[in-house]
Structure 1
Amino acid sequence: MHESTFGWPGRLVSAQPTKLPSHHNGLELQPSQAKRTEEQGRGFVVTCRIADGMKGSNLRWTQGGQEINAANGKRISLSKRPSDKPTSIVLIFDNVTTENAGVYTCSANIEGQPEEVHRTFDLSVYSGINYDNVKLSQSADIGSDYVMTCNVEGEPKPMVSWRRGTPIPSNGHEKFKVHAEGLTIRNVSRADEGQYDCDATQMVGDSTSNFKRKAISLVVNYPPEFQDKNAEIHYSFLGGEVNLTCQAEGEPQPEYDWGYYDGSFVDIPLTELKNREDFSDPSRTQLVKNMSDASQFRELVCRARNQLGTAEKIYRVIEVDQPAPPNFTFGKPSSHQIRIHVNPPEKQDGPLPTTGYRAVIRPKHFGAWENATVIDFQNGTVHILDSLFHNTEYDIKLASRNPVGLGQFSDVRTITTSAVSGAGAQSLTSFTALCILLAGILLTTGVSS
C-alpha cells in the first residue's frame, strides 16, 4: 500500500527520506577543507559532527584503516560531545609531526542512509625553514676561492638563493658561482668582506610557499700590513727613555715582537726593557725602553705576525743631548709672588726644540727638596710663582723640557718675598695679637680649672 500525504495546495506527494544537499552526507567537518597543510610542531583540531536535524551513531575517526583512540593516537587525542551518545567528535593534534601525515576519515551511521557515511581530509605536514645549522660567521683567506655555505633545512627541501645588496645571478657571474654546495667567491679580496643574505624558499602544498632570509657575515683573513711602511725617527738621550707605539692591520689580529735589526730580526734582551705595556686596544703595542747604553741607539724593529704572514716596521732611535738648563732671572718679588724671566738654553738641543720648563721651589729654612713644590709651565719668557708666604726666603731651580724629556736642573738660586706693608701689615699684626690674646685666655682658664 502506498502511503501518501497532502502537500500544499492539496496535491498528493510521496513521503521519501530526507534528501541531503550534494555537498554533505549527514557529516560535517570543521574546518571543511579536504586538504590541509600544517607546519611541524604546531597544534590544531578538526571537528566531525552530525549535521543539524540528523540522527546518527557509531561516530569515529580512523586513519590508515585503524580507529583512532587514546592508545594509538601518536600525539592525537579525541574529545566526544556528549560523551555517552556523541553528536560530534574532535580530533586533537598536539605538536604534529611528519608521522601524522595521511588521510583521516570520520565515519558514522546516519539515520536514513543505507550505508555508513564518511568525510575525509588529507593532512600534509612540512618541516619549516630552519637555519639552526647555518654558520652565520664565516672566514676566508685572501686570494683563495671560498665556498660560503648555507645548510638550511626543511621538508620539503627549501630552495636557496643569494644576495649581496642585490640578487646574485645563479650563473654567468665573473666573481660568484651559485651551486648546490653554496656560493663560491673567486679570488677572495678584502673588498669581499661583509654581509651576504641566504634566502630560502619552500613550496608547501600546491599554492603556498614559505620564505626566510638570514644574514651571513664573511671575514677575510689577510697577513699583517702597516699603513705607513716608512721608518719612524725617534730621539732620546743617554739615560733617558724611548716610547714606541706599533700598530698593524691584519686578520686574525696580529701578535707583536720587538727586536733589533742587524740584517735580520734579533730579539731585544729582557734586561734592556724597562717595561712593555699593551694598550686596551689589542691591535697595537707599546714599547718603553731605557736607553742606558750608547750601543742601544740603533734601529729597532716591530714585527707583526699572524698565521698568514709577517710584516716588519723599522724605528730609528737617534741620540741627542739632554736639554740644557735654562737661563733665568727674577723680577722684583711681591709679598706672595715671584716673577721669573726665562731665556732658552744657550746650547740648543739639535733637532728638538725646547717645549717648556719645570720649576722646583721650597722655603729655604724649613723645606726639604723631596717635599718641594713642582710647577710645570709651557714655553714662554715670563712665569709667575704665586700663593707664596710673605717675607720668606725661597730656593728655586729650573730645568728645560723637549719632546724627549726633562733635562738637568740649573744651580739653585735664592730669592726672598717682600714683607706685608700698610693696611695689610696692620691687619696681620692685629690678627697675630688677637691669636696671642686668645691663647692667653685659654691658658689662664686651664690653670684656674
Structure 2
Amino acid sequence: MGSMPFYMLIITVTSFTTITVLVSATDNPALEIKPDLPVIIQQAEKSLSLTCRPRVSEPNLISQLEWRDSVGRLIANTDQNALIHVAKLTNETGILLVFPNPQNYLDGIYKCKAFYGSTLLETRVRVVTIDGNPVTPQIFELFNITASIESDTKIICKANGRPTPKVLFKKLNKADLFQIGSQPFDDRILIENINNNAKGETYGILTIRNLSRADDGLYECIADNEIGKAFRIGHITVEFPPVFNNNDNVNEVWTWQNNPVKLTCVAESIPNSTIKWRYNSNELDRDNPSLRIEGYGPKSHLIVTPGSENKLDAHYECVAMNRLGQNHKMFSLKSADPPCSISQVKVNTVTPTTIKFEIVRQQLFSEMPLKAFICKYRRIDQTSDFAKNITWNVNASYIINNLEPQKTYHFTFAAVNDVGIGSWSGPNLHFTMPRRAVPAEPIILVTLGGFANVSIHEQVIVSSYADRYELRWNVSNDNGHPLDYYIIRYCETHWINGEWKDSESKCCSEIIEPTFQSYEMKELQPDTTYNIELRAHNALGASTTAQMRVKTIVEAFSGSNSSTNSFNLLILFVYAVFY
C-alpha cells in the first residue's frame, strides 16, 4: 500500500531550542468528480458518464478506487449493456460511472471512494433524471383558509417543475422552515409532500390540528428543486368567539353631580361580534333618554345620565355575540362623593427644617380611589392668610422641607379624588421643630449585599480598578445651617489580630465643596484595602462619620515592564526536506 510522503518542518525560535515536526506533503488530498456539480440533472434516455479522479501528489498510492450506490452497494459491473456500469480510465488513475439509459428509479446519491495510503477519501454526487428539459418550479395553486378555533385545518400548495420540486412552508413571522413530517417543537403541525413524478407535480400539505389564535397569520409556500425556487404567500384566518382582551380592566365606573358617564365595550372576535346591553340583568329600555347606545359592535358605548335620584346606579352588562359563541363584561355604576376626612396622621421623622408624615388610611377610603393628599401648614404665630399648601401623590413620601428650626407649626390634611377635595375636619397637628444642629451623617451610595450575615473582616467593597475608586454619596440634611464643605479621609488599612487598623502614615484628607456628591480617589495602590471616612460640615460642626472599606484589584499584567517581552518575537526558519 506504500507510505505517505512527508516533509520535515524545522522551526528555530529565538532564545530557544529547535523544534522538528513532520507534516504531510499533500495539503488536502481528495477525490473529484466531473462534471463538478453536487447535483447532476440528466434527461431520461440520454447517456451520462461521471468521472472520479484522485487529486493527490502521489497517484500510485491510490488503492480500492470504486463507486457505490445510494444504499452503499459496490458497483462492479463492467458490462457496457448494463443499466449502470463502471470502467477504469486507461492512461490515468480514475474510474467512470456510466448510465447508458438513465431512468428515474436509478436516481440517488452515488459515492466515489478510495484509500490514499491509509487515508480514506470519499466524495459524492446526486443524480436526478427528468423527462424533458429542466424547469424552474412554479406554484400554480394556493388558497387562503378560514377555520374555527380548536378545529383542524389544511392549507395545500400545488407546484410543478423538472425535477419534481419539494414543497415546504414557513410562518412569515418566523425564521425557520417547517420540516417534512411532525414538528419537534409543536406536534400539532404536520408537513406532507405528495409527488407525481410523471407530471413533475408536488402537493405540499400543511396540517394544523387544534387551531389556536396564534396560528392565525401569513404562511409562505416554497417550491424548491435543483433548478431554482418559487414562493407564494397564503393566509390562515382563525375564527374565535368574543373576548375582551383589549378592554381596560375598569369594572367600577363612578359618576357624580348628575354627570353622564360612558361605559365602553370592545369585543375582539372573528367574525365581528354584535353587542347588546343589559341593565340589572334585564334588556335595556332603548326608549329611556337617560340610557343611550352608540354602536352595536364590535365596539359599543353606553352613555348613562344618572339624574338627581341616582336611580340608574346599577349593574350593566355588555353582551358580545357571534356564531361561535358569546361573552359578557360587567360594569358597576356608582355615585361618588368627595373623600371623607382623614382620621389619623403621625409624625414619622423630623430634622430642624424637615418633617415627614405617615397618613393612616381608614376603611372609608376603600370606595372611589384617591388621587392625592393635601396639607395646609403655617407657623402658629401667623394667620391663615400665610398658610402654604403642598400636594402629594397617594403613594409618595409625605415630606415638607424648608421649615424654620425651633418654630411651632400648624398642619391640617385633606384627601382628594376625582370628585374633589374632601373635608379638612381631620386631625390638626401642632409640632415644634427641633433646634439647629450639625448636619446629618452623609449616606454613602454603595451596594453592601448580604453584609449583615458575614464577618466584619469580609465587609469590603471591591473597586473595579487597581489605582482609583469613585466615592459617591447623597447630600446631607443641613439641619438648619447650610453645608460649607465635606471632609474625606482615606487610609490604607489592614486586618490585624481580629480588627481593622489604619496605617496613619498612609492617610490622605480632602475638603470638598458642599455642592459635590462624588470624589475620585486616585493614585491608590493595587490589591490594597482602604478605610474611607466621610463627614458633612456646617457652622455648628461636623456630622457623625460615614464609613466604608474598599479594596483595589490586582494590577493587570503589563508587557512593557516584563522581561518576557523577549518571548514575543519568534523568527521561524522553515526548511523543506523531502523524504
TM above 0.5: no
The alignment's TM-score, normalised by the length of structure 1, stands at 0.40
- Structure number with greater Rg is 1
